[in-house]
Amino acid sequence: MLEFVIYKTIICVVIFAVSLGIAAYSTWWERKFAGLLQDRWGPSRAGWAGLLQPLADGGKMLFKEEIIPNVSNKFLFVLAPGLFIITAIVAGVLIPWAPPLKIGDTFYPLQIADVNVGVIFLLAVTSIGVYGVMIGGWSSNNKYSLLGAIRASAQMISYELAMGIALIALIISAGGTLSFSEIVKQQDEGVANIVWQPLGFLIFFVCALAETNRAPFDLAECETELVGGYHTEYSAFKLGLFLFAEYINMFVSSAVMAGFYFGGYNFPFAHEFYDKMGWQEGSWLISLTGFFIYFIKTLIFISVFMWIRWTIPRFRYDQLMNLGWKALLPLSLLNLVITMVYEYFRGNLQF
């Protein structure tokens, strides 16, 4: 029992710290990347190549004057950023970061919680994430905030449907398991799910962009129409939490995509490689290699998110809704039907 508590505590703390660190340095990388695409330097003053910039930004947010509007519901106003960042972090508990580690005679999975309804848990957590935005926008008592919150939540609800149906197709082709770790493990023969689910991945990727409120779907904070969107009235560290949660969301959804569709910690010819190196199953070297592979995949996805942000202009609101309901939802249903027919003829589905 004590062993279990220690093991879980270590894993929770490490994954929490890594998530926050990655989210912080995503802000740095986003600016560097923007600089790269726009032919300028990006942050270069704080530390070598601007590496201390996230700390400087955090310090700035912390020491700024905090203004709480007089007329708003104060408790909910303070609660909203916290709620938003908690739901962003909670989705990360499902991710199996590396192959199980063997200490003594027991295998320790390097994952906080192996929920056997993991995929549905993920959908539930993303749908709970709407509350932070809605409560924040409403309790600000500001028209722009409210409109921003309503836009953001309408967008999140609309894109959740297509996302869910794309995930059902994934579950069917992954052999009918809802557990995240089993979906990743099932890809260890070197064939990632992207091979069976190219259309499903495309739908999931667009939905992930919309769910994280990133460009080109960042209408919730469209400056030209809504000032600052749902966080117009927020200042200092509460604003910082809202902005920070966006980066955590991006990190988690990148990791989810890498795990669901690109094999997670697996890579082609992994078993041959491990055999050649003479590493036993459960060795820490295998866990470490797997972790690095997964991490690199995740970082590539984060970079793709940023690449899209600095390349594609923002959608109009009606275009966004049309894309969600009239293009992505029928496409995901089509993908589901194709997957079912294909798997039926492969003999994996029985009626």
Partner 1 sequence: MLGYTITQWLFGILSFLAIMFALMVVFSRNPVNSVLYLVLTFFCIAGHYLLLNAQFLAVVHIAVYAGAIMVLFLFVIMLMNLNQDNEPQKNIYSKLIAGVIGGLLLFVMVGALRGTDHLEMKRYGHPDIGLVKNLGQVLFHEYLFPFEIVSVLLLAALVGAIMLGKKELK
Stretch that binds partner 1, among 50-58, 117-125, 212-220, 238-246 (CB under 8 A): 117-125
Q: Tell how far CA 11 is from the center of its chain.
A: 19
Number of residues located near partner 1, criterion CB under 8 A: 24
- 325 near partner 1, rule: CB under 8 A: no
- 93 near partner 1, rule: CB under 8 A: no
C-beta of 115 vs 334, nearer to partner 1: 115
Whole-angstrom Cα distance, residue 244 to residue 116? 29
Stretch that binds partner 1, among 33-41, 110-118, 264-272, 316-324 (CB under 8 A): 110-118
Beta carbons of 226 and 206 less than 8 angstroms apart: no
For partner 1, the binding residue among 37, 51, 52, 124 (CB under 8 A) is 124
Return the SS3 of 351: coil
- 86 near partner 1, rule: CB under 8 A: no
For partner 1, the binding residue among 15, 91, 101, 135 (CB under 8 A) is 135
- 78 near partner 1, rule: CB under 8 A: no
Beta carbons of 183 and 346 less than 8 angstroms apart: no
Q: Which amino acid is at 122?
A: L
Q: Which amino acid is at 98?
A: A
Stretch that binds partner 1, among 6-14, 109-117, 198-206, 330-338 (CB under 8 A): 109-117
Beta carbons of 110 and 8 less than 8 angstroms apart: no
- 157 near partner 1, rule: CB under 8 A: yes
Q: Tell how far CA 17 is from the center of its chain.
A: 16
Q: Shortest distance, CB of residue 91 to partner 1, whole angstroms?
A: 13
Q: How far apart are the first and last CA of the chain?
A: 44
Tokens of 256: 């989810």
User: Would you list the DSSP string of 272-335?
Assistant: HHHHHHTPPTT-HHHHHHHHHHHHHHHHHHHHHHHHHHTTSPPPPHHHHHHIIIIIIHHHHHHH
- 127 near partner 1, rule: CB under 8 A: yes
- 144 near partner 1, rule: CB under 8 A: no
- 103 near partner 1, rule: CB under 8 A: no
Whole-angstrom Cα distance, residue 167 to residue 120? 9
C-beta of 22 vs 134, nearer to partner 1: 134
- 337 near partner 1, rule: CB under 8 A: no
Stretch that binds partner 1, among 49-57, 133-141, 235-243, 300-308 (CB under 8 A): 133-141
Q: Shortest distance, CB of residue 157 to partner 1, whole angstroms?
A: 6
Beta carbons of 173 and 196 less than 8 angstroms apart: yes
- State the Rg of the chain over Cα: 21
Whole-angstrom Cα distance, residue 148 to residue 280? 53
Extended beta strands in the chain, E state: 98-103, 106-110
For partner 1, the binding residue among 18, 150, 333, 340 (CB under 8 A) is 150
Q: Which residues bind partner 1 (CB under 8 A)?
A: 73, 76, 115-117, 120-121, 123-124, 126-128, 130-131, 134-135, 138, 146, 149-150, 153-154, 157, 178
